[in-house]
Amino acid sequence: MEFVDRERPEPAPDEALVEVDYAGLCGSDAGIYEFESAFERMALPTVIGHEYSGRIVEVGENVTKFAVGDRVVERPIRGCGDCYQCEIGESNVCQNAVITGVDHDGAYEQFVAVPEDALHPVPDAVDQQHAAMVEPTSIAARAVIENSRVTAGDRVLVEGPGPIGLLTAQIADAQGGEVLVSGVGQDAAYRLPLAEDLGFETLNVAEDDVEARREAITDGVGYDVVFDTTGHPSGLPAAVDEVRKGGQIVLIGQTGETTMPYSPLVRSEIDLQCSYASMYDDFDRSLRLIDSGDVDAETFIDDRFSLLDAEEAFEAFVAGETCKPVFDVSELYA
């Protein structure tokens, strides 16, 4: 990972040129940094970063919905518009999806050229720095609002206090759930305390008695809904232990490979639901959740890091010493 000079992109007729203000660091960016995910499909060098807010500085001749000066965010997972899933309104699982910051240049630079169909307006009430976290919020919004059955009074366990976990927890809470957030040893330094700052009870599975907490919180029944945001092979088997009979597990994190007996899921009629990416509606709701404070951007965002020393932020992220670094990208060009 290094700084290189790039040409200022020319927007195509259907594109707008966006000057980036703020950009977040996502677990998938960290996966690329560690050569663990996505990087094998990348044509290097590629500028990473896909969670960002910016302003339109130029528009192509066919752009009709946006104008110079508009504040925008991008929906970075782009459906092709032509395949079967896109036709039936499931563009989040498009057969030919491309991802900003993976398949084409992303937001850790001054300018990005973006098709207007992938842009989303930022309402006046939402702060530009806060808007940079709309994309990860939309992932959690889809998982909770579209894909979970969390409702008032439900007892909810969110496994993993990373960015997606803590956003999932906040939205599940907004939807009426009684939410507990669990983490492992290295989460004790920053992420579990952050969960507590956000108003959640927490559980450190490396130190606390997980079973005793489940007994106490759920009267021995188990959680109504468990979200696995860990991205770790242990996340799903642990969710099976924690969920109640007839309950629901929502898988958001990409777990990799795990081996486990599935008969207990069948015998308990557990609903195993996956959630991937997000769509227009999820972005729209996320902007409103941030505006209302149901998602507390101020507490959640960590702006200690500089993009000029990005390695420090990536190392801290991998070590669990931060949760959602958001860079002031204007440092590159101010």
Contact between 323 and Zn ion per CB under 5 A: no
Q: Which amino acid is at 90?
A: E
83 binds Zn ion (CB under 5 A): yes
With respect to Zn ion, which residue has the nearer C-beta, 30 or 180? 30
Distance in angstroms (rounded) separating the CA atoms of residues 251 and 205: 19
Joined tokens for residue 91:
């563009």
Residue 114 contacts Zn ion per CB under 5 A = no
> Which of 17, 32 has the CB closer to Zn ion?
32
Pick 133 or 194: Cβ nearer Zn ion: 133
With b for 16 or more beta-carbon neighbours within 10 A and e for fewer, the 161-186 pattern comes to bbbbbbbbbbbbbbbebbbbbbbbee
Among 1, 67, 68, 80, binds Zn ion (CB under 5 A): 80
State which amino acid sits at residue 307: L
> By rule CB under 5 A, what count of residues binds Zn ion?
7
The region of 91-99, 117-125, 273-281, 305-313 touching Zn ion under the rule CB under 5 A is 91-99
Q: Which of 56, 63, 73, 94 binds Zn ion (CB under 5 A)?
A: 94
The smaller minimum CB distance to Zn ion, of residues 106 and 235, is found at 106
x/- track of binding to Zn ion for residues 152-191 (CB under 5 A): ----------------------------------------
Cβ-based neighbours of 333, under 8 Å, separated by 6 or more: 110
Positions in 21-60 near Zn ion (CB under 5 A): 26, 28
What letter would DSSP give residue 124?
T
Closest by alpha carbon to 152, among 185, 114, 178?
Answer: 178
Outline where 96-209 has alpha helix (H).
128-131, 134-141, 163-174, 191-197
* Binding residue (CB under 5 A) for Zn ion from 20, 30, 86, 134: 86
Q: Which is nearer to Zn ion, 247 or 253 (CB)?
A: 253
Structure tokens that stand for 164 in this block: 């997606």
Question: Measured over all CA atoms, what is the biggest interatomic distance in the chain, rounded to whole angstroms?
Answer: 63
**Rule CB under 5 A: which residues touch Zn ion?**
26, 28, 79-80, 83, 86, 94
